Amino acid sequence: MTQQLNAAETFIAELATAGVQMRLTSAVGYNLNRAITEHGWTIPQLVTECTRDLDTAANVAAVITDRIRIAATVAPAKPKAKISKGLPFCTDECRDNAGWILNADGQITGRCTCRSTP
C-alpha cells in the first residue's frame, strides 16, 4: 500500500512540476498502481502521456484521470525501430542492377563491391 501511495504522490508531484495541479483520489491511485504494476508504465511515461495536448482541455483533471484509466488497461507504446536505408549504390548501373554485376547476356557474375560491408 505504501508503494502505491509513493508512486501516486510522485506522479502528482511530477504533474505539479509540469504545471498541472491535481488531487490524489482513490481512483487515480488505483489506476496508477495498475498501470505501473500490471502494464509496465513508468512515472515519466505517465506524466508525458497525461500532459500531452492539454492546452484546449476544459477540465484538465478529468482528461488526466481518463488517460490514467486507459493506461491502467494497456501497455505503453514501444518506440518504432529505425529502418536503415542501407548502403548507397556506387553508380547508376549498379542501382539499376540492384547491386549485381551482369555480363553481356544479363547473367549474374557477382556482387558489386559497394554492396559488401567493410
> Residue 109 belongs to what domain range?
85-118
Q: Is 47 inside a domain boundary? A: yes
**26 shares its domain with 67:** yes
Same domain for 101 and 64: no
pLDDT digits (tens, 9 = 90+) for 59-87: 999 999 999 999 999 988 887 777 667 77
Any idea which residue has 501516486 for its cell? 8
Same domain, 15 and 55: yes
**Are 61 and 109 found together in one domain?**
no
Considering the domain architecture, whether residues 62 and 98 belong to the same structural domain is answered as no
48 and 92 housed in the same domain: no
pLDDT band at 45 (very low <50, low <70, confident <90, very high): very high
* All cell numbers assigned to 33: 498502481
Query: Which residues are registered as beta bridge partners of 111?
Result: 100
pLDDT attached to residue 5: 61
DSSP state of 81: P
Residues 90 and 57 in one domain: no
* Stated pTM of the model: 0.62
